[in-house]
């Protein structure tokens, strides 16, 4: 079985599925809100209070493309560009892993993800956030250079200004940069670059925090209240299948994908590079913390804004498939199941979109 060819097939299967969703599904309620925002003048688009639960960066980005064409199809097609970039950077990231097949399985796991396909095609920031996270991880695993570390902090700043969901990646990654700096100082290796990395990440996070405190001081009071409806979805029976990417209504796929997850974690602990290991572990801690916070204090567990967790699951699936490389028949069987789960998810989105996105226009 040629894994490279399967990854190419997966890329085009994911591309076709996303294009079908882009062209066939009508606007759903959040997309309508986004479209109405970018109809406004640039001054209103850049106003942090226009949408108190999202920063203005992505609206500004869409507004520029809106000047070219006013069609919502055109705006959705932008997400296809992010999909292509995500595949490219995942492939490059996979080349930094010991297992030479990881590059292909990362692409397969992402392209056929039942989680990503729900969000990647919408006029929202979800696809771009995923791309930025993957790009930052790839740049970090590349050979150190001041230019690349500066690029990482710049992309981090863009992500923070484009979507609040990026916070769940940005601040754990800031802690990771702190850990790397301490390690570099202790071992007297790449000390200057590690400290520069920490400083640049700190500066980008502080810039965002300053703008947020100045312009969005009502967020905690009004914003959390506005998304209070998610309280009714804060239950493991809802968000676990979502993050697993399991086809809704098919419990057997939840069980199968959960078994993929467990085996994949074991293999990942033995074979992953440090940055992927950190992202996966921190995702688990974040999910557990957010769940407890949402249950006992205020609801913030929003599956659409936790792309970092969905992406970590994709990483784990890739490692799971890597672990089966010596057993081609079993690997082929599980890849077929993964593809079937993806196809059922796509079909379900067309058949009963309200299960995934609440309401269409």
Q: pLDDT of 279-298, one tens digit each? A: 888 888 988 888 888 888 77
Rounded to whole angstroms, the Cα distance separating 148 from 158 reads 15
| For residues 314-339, average pLDDT | 92
Backbone Cα Rg of the chain: 20
Predicted model pTM: 0.92
Instruction: Kindly indicate the confidence band of residue 236, based on its pLDDT and cuts at 50, 70 and 90.
Output: confident
Which has the higher per-residue pLDDT, 301 or 335?
335
> DSSP assignment of 49-95, as one string?
TSSTTS-SHHHHHHHHHHTT---HHHHHHHHHHHHHHHHHHHHHHHT
Alpha-carbon distance of 341 to 361, in angstroms, equals: 27
Q: How far apart are CA 154 and CA 200, in angstroms?
A: 8
pLDDT number for residue 291? 86
Question: What is the reported pLDDT for 149?
Answer: 83
Q: How many CB atoms lie within 10 A of CB 172?
A: 18
Which domain, by its residues, includes 152?
3-357
How far, in Å, are 110, 132, 170, 333 from residue 94 at the CA level?
12, 16, 21, 23
Q: In whole angstroms, give the CA distance from residue 66 to residue 285.
A: 39
What sections of 142-273 are H helices per DSSP?
Answer: 146-162, 167-187, 191-215, 224-226, 236-244, 251-271
Number of domains observed in the structure of the chain: 1
């Amino acid at each position: 079985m040629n894994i490279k060819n399967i990854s190419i097939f997966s890329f085009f299967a994911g591309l076709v599925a996303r294009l079908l969703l882009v062209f066939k599904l009508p606007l759903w309620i959040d997309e309508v809100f986004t479209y109405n925002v970018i109809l406004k003048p640039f001054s209103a688009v850049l106003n942090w209070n226009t949408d108190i639960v999202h920063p203005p960066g992505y609206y500004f980005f869409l507004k520029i493309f809106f000047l070219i064409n006013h069609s919502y199809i055109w705006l959705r097609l932008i997400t296809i560009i992010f999909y292509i970039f995500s595949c490219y950077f995942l492939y490059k990231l996979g080349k930094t892993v010991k297992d030479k097949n990881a590059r292909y399985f990362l692409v397969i796991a992402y392209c056929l993800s039942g989680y990503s396909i729900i969000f990647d095609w919408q006029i929202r920031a979800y696809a771009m956030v995923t791309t930025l996270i993957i790009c930052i991880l790839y740049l970090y695993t590349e050979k150190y250079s001041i230019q690349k570390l500066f690029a990482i902090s710049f992309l981090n700043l863009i992500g923070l200004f484009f979507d609040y969901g990026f916070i769940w990646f940005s601040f754990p990654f800031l802690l990771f940069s702190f850990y790397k700096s301490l390690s570099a100082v202790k071992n007297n290796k790449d000390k200057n670059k590690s400290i520069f990395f920490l400083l640049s990440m700190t500066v980008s996070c502080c810039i965002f925090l300053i703008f947020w405190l100045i312009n969005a001081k009502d967020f905690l009071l009004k914003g959390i209240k506005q998304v209070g409806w998610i309280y009714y979805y804060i239950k493991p029976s809802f968000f676990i299948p979502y993050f697993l990417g399991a086809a809704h209504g098919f419990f057997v796929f939840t069980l199968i994908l959960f078994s993929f997850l467990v085996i994949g974690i074991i293999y990942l602990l033995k074979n992953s590079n440090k940055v992927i290991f950190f992202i996966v572990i921190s995702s688990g801690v974040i999910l557990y913390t957010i769940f407890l916070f949402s249950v006992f204090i205020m609801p913030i567990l929003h599956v659409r804004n936790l792309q970092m967790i969905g992406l970590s699951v994709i990483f784990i699936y890739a490692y799971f498939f890597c672990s089966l490389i010596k057993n081609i028949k079993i690997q082929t069987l599980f890849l077929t199941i993964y593809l079937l789960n993806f196809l059922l998810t796509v079909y379900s989105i067309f058949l009963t979109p309200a299960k995934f996105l609440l309401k269409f226009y």
